[in-house]
Amino acid sequence: MANTAKHIIRPTVVLVAIAIVISGVVSVVYNLTKLPETVGLSEAATAKATELMGTDQLTTILNDNYPEEVTGAAKTENGEYVIGVTSTGYGGEMELVVGFQSDDSVKGVAIVSAQETPGIGTKVTEGDEFTKQFAGLQGTATIGENVDAITGSTISSKAVTTGVNTAIEALSLVKEGKEQEGGGQ
């Protein structure tokens, strides 16, 4: 009985130990070599960015230090930037792109997707009545100071404003980023 335990338990323990060590090595190698999950703007965000920036010549900018709300960033041929961000509105996640002119002022904001309440929260996402007030902004956007919320859509208005502020804060990281080899989208 003792001999059987020795022949069964010992090899089992050795195999389990080897498996644990190999799993640890694979995990370390994976984390060292993995590519960023998002290396650029989504197809829908790229379409909105192209429209917003007035060009389809966008070069993806990579930086490992982007906040998790930043979904991608790109640079135009004339030194302007566009940053994709997510924010949480009343109906869930909202995706938007924020364009920046070469002087770091906001060029414009476009809503890529949102699940806001029809007729209420969608007042923020329909047309450009709300988003056009961000154009020319330098510094933090604040509802009640330099941004007017849409009545009945306060949470959605705050979500867009938060997204714009995230993009403003991320702009310096985008400028420090590395252009993706091979160009744009």
Determine the pLDDT at residue 2.
64
Q: How far apart are CA 25 and CA 15, in angstroms?
A: 15
Mean pLDDT over 119-125 rounds to 80
Q: What is the mean pLDDT of residues 109-138?
A: 87
pLDDT greater than 50 at residue 127: yes
Read off the pTM: 0.75
Q: What is the pLDDT of residue 185?
A: 45
DSSP-derived secondary structure letter, 36: P
- Which H or E run contains 182? strand 178-184
Residue 41's identity, in one-letter code, is L
Q: Residue 38's pLDDT band (boundaries 50, 70, 90)? A: very low
